[in-house]
Amino acid sequence: FALVRPMEWVNKDKQSRLGVVARMDNFKIDNSATASVRYVMLGAYWDVSQRTNLAFDLQQSSPLNGSTSITTRTLLVHYKADF
């Protein structure tokens, strides 16, 4: 997966409060099987302060190569506060 703060490419002197997260995996239950599931996640996060963070992401799981799992798509909202 990758965590990127693209605004820091423009101004390297200041830490950006906006970030992007991305991940892609292919999962097999058994190494000898051809069926697998692809998991993809793409989202953005905003550092509200040094201790709080708000994030939105879209997660998708889809069958590959004859897998019997179903395709799922989920939109998530996360709010994190450290104490």
Res. 40 pLDDT band, cuts 50 70 90: very high
Distance CA 83, CA 72 (A): 34
Given a cut of 90, is residue 1 above it in pLDDT? no
Q: What is the dihedral of CA 1, 81, 56, 43, to 10 degrees?
A: -20
Give me the percent of the chain exceeding a pLDDT of 70: 100
- Angle (nearest 5°) at CA 30 between 26 and 36: 30
Distance CA 64, CA 33 (A): 11
Asked if 83 contacts 55 with a C-beta cutoff of 8 angstroms, the reply is no
Q: Per the confidence metrics, is the pTM higher than 0.85?
A: no
